[in-house]
Amino acid sequence: MNTKNFNRITLTALLLVAVLFPFFADFYILCIGISVLIAALLGQSWNIMSGYAGQFSFGHAVFFGIGAYTSTTLYTMFGVSPWLGMIIGALVAALVGAAIGFLSFRYKLRDDYFALATLAFAEIFRILVNNTSALGGATGILIPYLVKPSEYQFASDKTYYWVILALVAFATVFIAVMSKSKTGLNLVAIKSNQEAAAALGVNVLKYKLIAISSSAFFAALAGTFYAQYYGFIDPSIVFASSISVEAIVPCIIGGSGTLYGPLLGALLIIPLQEICNSLFTSISGINMIIYGVLIVLFIMFCPDGIYGRMTKYISKRKGN
């Protein structure tokens, strides 16, 4: 009981800090805060499908890009509010995810082969959009900035911050509820051993599809937010493999398959990148070198991630 209360108090305090953060941050710091939250949302998205369900995606950019392009084209071509566009984009991404998943899992792709397939799908989408002039082609789409909250455009970056914070909170609550439910148990069971799960009556294909669809849904939310916040998208940005990696890294560093791991991971990696970028302004690519070094270090010495290592340590101490 005591630890439960303690957890609850810590969580409330942290949430309060997160909500009030814009009042204490200057513009630059606030921008970093928003970047952290975008990475956190992508991370949580990847976490569902790859962390919990163990289906390793290397092409999360495909869902991010679909979210960004769906809401943006609906807005610029048909005047649909990006709020609605965001939901539609997320649903489209979920459908595409289900289609990719159905093809891959139906043909029993696993591990590296599945990861390669997701990578190829992301590339295919990038090339398709790149060559579709109706979608702006390689030049991309510039979103007119009209400052209308009803159209997902705000005067202040503070508001953008709260929107993405709300989306991250939504994803985290979703995962919290899911992980304690039948679905969550089944996903983790599938990750451990899908043959054994099937022997216990788990419809493996169905649950993998649930995982990839809900994962895609959240990645697409991040995509729409990105488009609205930066006001410009093109295929080489939103379908880039670096987006796919940005979904993975917070999970690896924080701990994949844990509720708070990706949040912690994003909170560490993004500011670290920013610091390095500002320290070595003359050297391009230094932030990505940091990515690389951290990936190597964590995979080699702390594959459970920071949060994962912490919880394992605590539960071990409890066990003894």
Partner 1 sequence: MNMQFFQAFLDGTLMGGVYALAALGLSLIFGVMKITNFAHGAMMTVGMYAVYVVSTSLGISPYIALVFAAITLFALGYIIQHFLIDKISDAPTHNQLLLTLGVAYILENGLLAVFSPNYKTLNVDDFDGAIQLGAISISPEKLVAFAVVLIVTAVIYIVLYKTRIGKAIRACSQNKEGAKLMGIVIKKTNAVAFGIGALCTGIAGALLTPILSIYPTLGETFQLKCFVIAILGGMGNLWGALISGLIVGIVESLTGYIAGGSWSDLTVYAAFILILLVKPSGLFGRSNRREH
Partner 2 sequence: MPLLSVQNVCKYFHGNKAVDDVSLEINKGEIVGLIGANGAGKTTLFNCLTGYYKATSGKIVYKDKRIESLKPHIICRMGIGRTFQIAKPFGDLSVLENVAVGAYNKCKTKAEAYDKARQCIIFTGLAGKEDTNAGTLNTGEQRRLELARALATDPELLLLDEVMAGLTPTESQEMVELIRNVKDQGVTILMIEHIMPVIMALSDTVYVLESGRLICKGSPEEVSQNTQVIESYLGKSQEA
Per CB under 8 A, the list member of 91, 99, 198, 290 interacting with partner 2 is 198
Selected range binding partner 2 among 28-36, 161-169, 177-185, 232-240, rule: CB under 8 A: 177-185
SS3 81: coil
Q: How far, in Å, CA of 71 to CA of 37, rounded?
A: 20
**At closest approach, how far in Å is the CB of 202 from partner 2?**
6
d(CA 3, CA 16): 20
User: What is the pattern of x (binds partner 2, CB under 8 A) and - over residues 297-316?
Assistant: ------------------x-
The C-alpha atoms of residue 204 and residue 202 are separated, in whole angstroms, by: 6
From the list 80-88, 125-133, 176-184, 308-316, the region that binds partner 1 by CB under 8 A is: 125-133
Report in angstroms how near the CB of residue 214 gets to partner 2 at its nearest. Answer: 19
Closer by beta carbon to partner 2, 12 or else 193: 193
Token pair in block for residue 240: 């880039």
Q: Which of 181, 280, 297, 299 binds partner 2 (CB under 8 A)?
A: 181
Adjacent-strand bridge partners of 232 = 142
Extract the tokens encoding 117.
Answer: 């397939």
What gap in Å lies between CA 141 and CA 160, rounded to an integer? 20
Buried/exposed code over 258-296 (b: 16+ C-beta within 10 A; e: otherwise): bbbbbbbbbbbbbeebbebeeeeeeeeeebeebbeebbe
Rounded CA Rg of the chain: 19
Partner interacting with residue 241 (select from partner 1, partner 2, none; CB below 5-8 Å by kind)? partner 1
For 78-230, list the strands marked E by DSSP.
Answer: 141-142
Q: Minimal distance in Å, beta carbon 161 to partner 1?
A: 28
**Checking phi first, is residue 81 left (phi over 0); if not, alpha (psi -120 to 50) or beta?**
beta
Which of 52, 56, 64, 218: binder of partner 1 (CB under 8 A)?
56
Question: Is residue 131 part of the contact set for partner 1 (CB under 8 A)?
Answer: yes
Among partner 1, partner 2, none, residue 303 binds (CB under 5-8 Å by kind): partner 1
Is residue 121 at the binding interface for partner 1, with CB under 8 A as the rule?
A: yes
When asked if residue 196 is in the footprint of partner 1 (CB under 8 A), the reply is: no
Binding residue (CB under 8 A) for partner 1 from 28, 107, 145, 232: 107
Least distance (Å) from partner 2 to the CB of residue 187?
Answer: 10
Q: Give 54 or 85: the residue with its C-beta nearer to partner 2.
A: 54
For partner 2, the binding residue among 192, 232, 280, 296 (CB under 8 A) is 192
Residue from 294, 306, 307, 308 in contact with partner 1 (CB under 8 A): 294
Q: How far is the CB of 303 from partner 1 (least distance, A)?
A: 6
* Alpha helices (runs of H) in the chain, residue ranges in sequence order: 2-24, 27-46, 61-78, 82-106, 111-130, 157-180, 182-192, 194-199, 204-230, 235-238, 241-254, 261-279, 286-301, 305-319
